Amino acid sequence: MNNHPIGIFDSGIGGLSILGQISYLLPNESLIYVGDTAFLPYGTKSRDLIQDRAHKICSYLLSKHCKAIVVACNTATSVAIQKLRANFSVPIIGIEPAVKPATQQTRSRVIGILATEGTLEGEKFATLKQRFGNDITILHQPCTGLVEMIEAGDLNDKKLHELLKIFVLPLLECGADTLVLGCTHFPLIKPLIAYYAGPKVTILDPSIPVANELKRQLELKSLLLKEKSGMYTFFQTGTNEQFEKFISKELGLEPTLYSLNI
C-alpha cells in the first residue's frame, strides 16, 4: 500500500497551499488533488451539501486507492471530518485555524481570524475559542467573497483590494497583532494580506503543521514511500480556467489537469 497515492481536496485552488507543503516534506509521494470548483465556494453552503460533496470526493479518492486523505479546507474539515472518519478507514487529516499558536505568539493579546462563514459558525471554531480565548481577545472576520476573488486570479483587481481593506483594517484597529489565515485560499495571497496588515503583524499559515501531521500518521502506520514516485494528478469538477495556471505558479509544474464529474 505504501506506493499508493495521497488524496487531497478543497473547494478549489486553496488546497494547493497545503499540497505545496506536502510535496516539500514528502517528495517521494504521489498525490491526487481534487478541486471541487463546481461547488465553490463551500463557505456559504449548507452543512448537508458540504458533507455530501466531501463524501463523494473521498469515495472517488479511495476508488483511486489513496492510502490517506487530506481535507485541505477549513470549512469542509469543520463540517464533514467527523462523518468522513466514521465512514472511511484510511487516515483522514484535516485543518483548523491556528488559534492556539496565535494565542501563544500575540503580545497585544488580541488576535484576528480570517476565515469563511462556514468555518467561523462551526462547532470546531466555537471549541477553539472557548479553549484558548480565556485571557486573549479572539476577533473573527468572515471573508465573504474573498475566495471567489482569489479563484478569479487577478491580484490587481480593485475589488480584491477593497475587500482586503474591509476585512483586515478593523482587526488592526482593535489591536490585533497576529492574524490567522483560517482558509486555505488565503495563503495564496499572503503577500497582499501582509501588505495591508503592515510589517508589525504576524501572519499564521497552518499548512506546515498539516503536512507534519500527515507525515506523522503515515509513519505511524508504516505507510511512507521510501523510493521516489512523485506522480501528481489534478482534477477539478468545474471549469475554472485559472486552475492550471495556479498549479504551475504555486508548484512550478506543468500540470495534467483532468475534469471530474461526480
Measured from the CB atom, the residue of 74 and 240 that comes closer to ligand DGL is 74
* From 58, 66, 143, 183, active-site residue: 183
- Respond yes or no: is residue 183 known to be catalytic: yes
Question: Which of the stretches 34-42, 97-105, 191-199, 222-230 binds ligand DGL when contact is defined by CB under 6 A?
Answer: 34-42
Binding status of residue 37 toward ligand DGL by CB under 6 A: no
Measured from the CB atom, the residue of 109 and 159 that comes closer to ligand DGL is 159
Q: Is the peptide bond before 41 cis (omega within 30 degrees of 0)?
A: yes
Which of 9, 33, 42, 60 touches ligand DGL by CB under 6 A?
42
Q: Rounded to the nearest whole angstrom, what is the least distance from the CB of residue 260 to ligand DGL in the complex?
A: 17
- Within 10 angstroms of residue 234's Cβ, the number of other Cβ atoms is 24
Q: Rounded to the nearest whole angstrom, what is the least distance from the CB of residue 72 to ligand DGL in the complex?
A: 7
Binding status of residue 119 toward ligand DGL by CB under 6 A: yes
Write out the DSSP string of the chain. Answer: -TTSPEEEEESSSTTHHHHHHHHHH-TTS-EEEEE-GGG---TTS-HHHHHHHHHHHHHHHHHTT-SEEEE--HHHHHHHHHHHHHH--S-EE-----HHHHHHH-SSSEEEEEE-HHHHHSHHHHHHHHHH-SSSEEEEEE-TTHHHHHHHT-TT-HHHHHHHHHHHHHHHHTT--EEEE-STTGGGGHHHHHHHH-TTSEEE-THHHHHHHHHHHHHHTT----S----EEEEESS--TTHHHHHHHHH-----EEE---
- Respond yes or no: is residue 73 known to be catalytic: yes
Which of 23, 37, 74, 207 touches ligand DGL by CB under 6 A?
74
Measured from the CB atom, the residue of 148 and 244 that comes closer to ligand DGL is 148
Binding status of residue 40 toward ligand DGL by CB under 6 A: yes
Measured from the CB atom, the residue of 33 and 67 that comes closer to ligand DGL is 33
Question: Which of the stretches 10-18, 122-130, 134-142, 229-237 binds ligand DGL when contact is defined by CB under 6 A?
Answer: 10-18
Residues within the interface to ligand DGL (CB under 6 A)? 10-11, 14, 40-43, 73-75, 116, 119, 147, 183-185
Q: Which residues are catalytic?
A: 73, 183
